[in-house]
Amino acid sequence: MELNLNRVDYIQVGVTSQKTMRLLPALGKKATQKVAVADHDGILTCFGMKKGEAVPVFKTLPGQKIARMDLGGAAGTPQEKIFVCSGSQVRGFTKKGKQFLTFEANLTESINAMHVSGADLFVCASYIYNHYCDCKDQNYYLSGDKINDIICLSSENGTHLVPVLACQDRVLRVLQGSELAYDIEVPGPPSVLELYNKDGGEEILCGTTDGNIGLVQIGECSAATKWEIDNDKKKGGILCIDTYDIMGDGVNDILVGRDDGTVEVYGFDSANEPTLRFEHVLSESVTSIQGGCVGKESYDEVLTATYTGWVTGLTTEPQKAEAGPGDEVRMSKEIQSKVEALRAELEQLQVKVKQGREQYQQTSQSSTAVSAVPVFSINDKFTLCQDDASYNLTLEVQTAIDNLLLQSDVPIDLLDVDKNSAVVSFSECDSEQPNGNFLLATYRCQANTTRLELKVRSIEGQYGTLQAYITPRLQPKTCQVRQYQIKPLSLHQRTHSIDQERPMNRLSLVGQFSFAEIHSWVAFCLPEVPEKTPAGESITFYFHNTFLGTQLEATYCKGEGHFKSDNISTISILSDVLSKEATKKKINLNNSYDINDESVSHTLKMIHPKLEYQLLLARKVQLIDALKELQVHEGNADFLIPEYRNILDESANLLDEYKKQPAHLERLYGMITDLFIDKFKFKGQNVKTKVSSLLEILDNYDLNSLLDFFNEA
C-alpha cells in the first residue's frame, strides 16, 4: 500500500531551529489540532485552521532566539503546556498563551536541547547536562563532547526517569542520576533522538548527521540496536523524527525530516522491517516534523517546519478534482472565497512593494539618509563525508542567494554535485605570492535558490582556511563571510576502535607542556576533536583515514603524547605540525620515532586497489572516442570484442565518473610519492632525486615492481 499526500502551505514565521514546532493534543477523536511554532525572532506563534484559513490563537512578543520547544503537563493529563528555551532561560505558556513560568537556569552557555516530563526539566548546553525538579537543581553531568539532543525514558517500574544524551563523538550516553550508567556507540554523530512509543517503553529512534536512522532498545545496563536504515542514496542528515500512524494500519509509522529538504515516511512490512512508503522534497531543510490532523477533520497529515519558517502540511485530503472532456467544473463556495482572498492579498502586496520601492528611491537620493546593512541569517555546515572522503559544504540563507565566492589558501579540488544548478566560474590564482590563493571560484545562482551544496576535497598535510563570501539578493548589496578550517589531517574521522594487528609506526613527544596545550595542538591537527580539554589525566582518540582506510591512535597527557599509525605519512605530518605549534609557544619538544618498515608495503597494498581501478578507468575513457569513431565508420559495434562493446555501452557512466573525480590519479600518485619521501626522511636520507624514477614506475604500474623499488631505494 503506497501513500498519496498533497502539499499545503499554512503560514510563514521567522527562521526556525531544530525541534521548534509541535502539535497540541486534539480535543476530540477526529478534531483538528492547534500548531505551536517558535522562531529566531523570539516569537512563539500558536495557530489553528478554520475554513482553510490559518487563524492565530496567540503570538508572543519578540525576544531572544528560541532554540527548542517541548510540550509538558502534569503526569496523566494532556501534555498541552508549551515550554520554550532561549539563551539560558526556559519559559512556559498555557495553550491560550498565558505565561506561567520563567526559569533562569544560570548556565554560562545557551541551552540547545531540552526535555520536559511532569515536574522534571532536563536541559543541555554544549557539554553540560542539568536536571531540575520543580525548578530545583537535582543532577548534573559534564559530557566528553558536545550534546546535540536529549530524551528521557521511564524506568521499568516507572519510579524514575532515565536520560539519554546524543553526543557529537558518535556516542549515546545513558545516565543514572549524575553518573554515566553506560554508553552506546552509533555509526555517525547523532543529531536527534525521539521516543518510538509516545506512551513510554524503552525504545528510542536515533538519527545521525550522515543520514542514518536506527532503533535502539535501552536496558538497565546495556542497549541493543533493533534495526538500522542506511543512507545508501546519499540524502541529507537527519534533523527531526516523529512517529504517527499516517498509513492507518494500526502501526506507528516513522516520519523523517532531513537537512536537504527530504521528507520521508517509513512503514513496516510483514517482517517488521522499515520500508520507505512516501518521499517528498522541499526546497530547504526540514527543522521539525509532526504527525496529526491540522487542515481538516478526519484527514491525517505530516506537518513540517522548514529553516526559513514555512509551516507546510502533506495531507491525505485530496487537493485536486479531475474532469473529463465536456464536464463542468464547479468550485465550492469555500474555494471561490479562498481564490478571491488570495487575489486581494496579491494586489495589496503589489501596492506595498511599489510604495516601498518609491520610498527607497527617494531616501537613496537624500543627502541626510543613512544606509543600513540588512541582516540575514545563514545556516551552514562543513562536514566530512566518509563515502568519498570529501567535505560537504551546505549553505542555506533565508532569502535567495545571488552569488557565492569561494576562496582558499590551500590546494583543494571542487567536485561535481548533482543537486547544484549554479553556474561556476574560476579565476586565475597566483599561489606563489605570499598569502596567495589556490582557489577562487564564483557560483552564480538561479532565481530563488536559497540552498547551495558544494563538495571539496583537501590534501592531507596542506592546511589553511576556506572562505565563503555569500551575497543574497537584497538591496543595498551586502555580503557575509564564513570561514572553515582545513586541518593538516583533514581526511581523518573519529572511530570507536582500531585494528591493533596492523604494522604500526610510533611517534612519542616529551616536553614541558600542559594537558590543555597538547589537546589544543591535537584539535588543530585533527577534525572531530572536542574544543574543550577532556576531564581526567589523559585521553585516547582513535581515527581512520576516509580516503585510504589507514588508522591513527592518539594518547596524550600532561608532558607527553604518543601517536601510532600504520601510515608513515600521517606520523610525518603530525610530527611536523606538532613541532611547529610547540615552537610558536617556545616549548622544547623531544621527539622519538619507532618506524616499522613493514607498514610501508602494507600502506601500498591498501592504495593498490584504488590505483588499479583509477588507471583502468582512465584507460577506458581514453578508448571511448576511438571506439565511437569505429562504430560510426562500421555502422554498428557487433564486430568488437565483448570488452570493448561493454565500454561503449557504459561510456556515459564512465565519463560521468571520470568527470566527478578530477585529479584522483594525481592524488594517489602524490600519496605514494609522499610515502616514499617520508620513509627515507626518518632514516635521514633525501630521496627527492629519485622521484622521477618512481613516477616512471607508476606510469607502467605493477604492484610488485613498486614494492621492489621501495625496498631497493
SS (H, E, C) 445-502: CCCCCCEEEEEEEECCCCCEEEEEEEEECCCCCCCEEEEEEECCCCCEEEECCCCCCC
Beta bridge partners of 195: 204
Question: Quick one: 591 and 604 in the same domain?
Answer: no
| β partners of residue 8 | 313
pLDDT at residue 562, as a whole number: 96
Does residue 331 surpass a pLDDT of 80?
Answer: no
- Choose the final residue of a domain: 486, 509, 533: 486
342 within some domain: no
- Segment 655-664 shows an average pLDDT of 73
- Is residue 309 included in any domain, yes or no? no
Express each pLDDT in 188-216 by its tens digit: 999 999 999 887 788 999 999 999 999 99
182 in a domain, yes or no? yes
- Give dist(CA 624, CA 629) in Å, integer: 9
Q: Domain range for residue 573? A: 492-595
pLDDT at 440: 93
Residues 6+ apart with CB under 8 A from 9: 310, 311, 312, 313
User: Using CA atoms, how far apart are residues 540 and 534, in angstroms rounded to an integer?
Assistant: 10
Q: Is the pLDDT of residue 504 over 90?
A: yes
User: Which 3 state secondary structure label does DSSP give 706?
Assistant: helix
Confidence of residue 264 (pLDDT cuts 50, 70, 90): very high
Identify the residue with better confidence: 61 or 430.
61
CATH number at residue 420: 2.60.40
307 pLDDT band, cuts 50/70/90, is very high
- CA angle in degrees (0–180, nearest 5) for 50-51-57: 15
Q: 354 lies in a domain?
A: no
User: How many domains, in total, are found in the chain?
Assistant: 4
Query: Cα separation of 637 and 434, whole Å?
Result: 55
Residues 560, 422, single domain; the answer is no
- Residue 635, by phi and psi: left (phi above 0), alpha (psi -120 to 50) or beta? left
The residue among 482, 462, 463, 485 whose CA lies nearest residue 471 is: 482
CB 192 within 8 A of CB 208: no
Q: Is residue 137 part of a domain?
A: yes
95-109, 495-509, 607-621: segment of lowest average pLDDT: 607-621
Residue 336 is predicted with a pLDDT of 80
On whether residue 88 sits in a domain, the answer given is yes
Greatest mean pLDDT among 61-65, 313-317, 632-636 lies in 61-65
Of 255, 230, 348, the residue nearest 23 (C-alpha): 255
Phi, psi of 226 (to 5 degrees): -80, -50
What band does 56 get if pLDDT is binned at 50, 70 and 90? very high
Task: Report how far residue 398's alpha carbon sits from residue 287's, in angstroms, rounded to the nearest whole number.
Answer: 13
Q: Provide the CATH number for the domain around residue 35.
A: 2.130.10.10
Report the C-alpha gap between 277 and 679 in whole angstroms.
Answer: 54
Q: What are phi and psi of 614, to 5 degrees?
A: -65, -40
Q: Is residue 11 part of a domain?
A: no
Q: Are 224 and 206 in contact (CB under 8 A)?
A: no
pLDDT band at residue 322 under the 50/70/90 scheme: low
Pick the last residue of a domain from 456, 486, 516: 486
* Residue 376 Cα distances to 405, 472, 475, 656, angstroms: 17, 9, 12, 37
Q: What is the pLDDT averaged over residues 487-505? A: 93
Same domain, 472 and 520: no
Question: 668 and 704 share a domain?
Answer: yes
Using CA atoms, how far apart are residues 522 and 584, in angstroms rounded to an integer? 15
The reply to whether 211 and 84 lie within a common domain is: yes
Tell me what pLDDT residue 407 has.
94
Query: Of 203, 238, 273, at which residue does a domain stop?
Result: 238
pLDDT at 245 over 70: yes
What pLDDT, on a 0 to 100 scale, did the predictor assign at position 683?
A: 86
Residues 385, 478, single domain; the answer is yes
Helix intervals (H) in 585-663: 598-634, 642-649, 651-660
pLDDT digits (tens, 9 = 90+) for 172-195: 999 999 999 999 999 899 999 999
Query: Are both 563 and 603 inside the same structural domain?
Result: no
**For residue 170, pLDDT beyond 80:** yes
Q: Are residues 135 and 222 in the same domain?
A: yes
- Residue 331's contacts (CB-CB under 8 Å, 6 or more residues apart) are 339
In the chain, what is the straight-line distance between the N-terminal and C-terminal CA atoms, in Å? 66
How much is the pLDDT for 327?
A: 67
What is the DSSP code string of 407-450? EESS-EEEEP-TT---EEEE----TTSTT--SEEEEEEPPTT--
| 266 inside domain | no
Looking at the fold, whether 435 and 462 belong to one and the same domain comes out as yes
Spatial contact of 625 and 633, defined as CB atoms under 8 Å apart: no
Distance CA 588, CA 260 (A): 48
Q: Find which of 121-135, 335-349, 362-376 is predicted with most confidence, using mean pLDDT.
A: 121-135
Do both 467 and 603 map to the same domain?
no
Q: pTM value?
A: 0.89
- pLDDT confidence of 33, banded at 50, 70, 90? very high
559 and 464 fall within a common domain: no
d(CA 710, CA 471): 51
In whole angstroms, what is the distance from residue 416 CA to residue 423 CA? 12
Length of the chain measured in residues: 713
Angle at CA 300, nearest 5°, toward 296 and 302?
A: 110
Mean pLDDT, range 1-24, rounded to an integer: 90
pLDDT of 156 reads 67
pLDDT in tens, 574-619: 999 999 999 999 999 999 999 998 999 999 999 999 888 888 888 8
Bridge partners of 349, per DSSP, are: none
Task: Give the whole-number percent of the chain exceeding pLDDT 90.
Answer: 61
Q: What is the mean pLDDT of residues 5-28?
A: 92
The CATH number covering residue 589 comes to: 3.30.160
pLDDT digits (tens, 9 = 90+) for 670-710: 999 999 999 988 888 888 888 888 888 888 888 898 888 88
When the pLDDT of each residue in the chain is averaged and rounded to a whole number, the result is 89
Q: Are 471 and 541 part of one and the same domain?
A: no
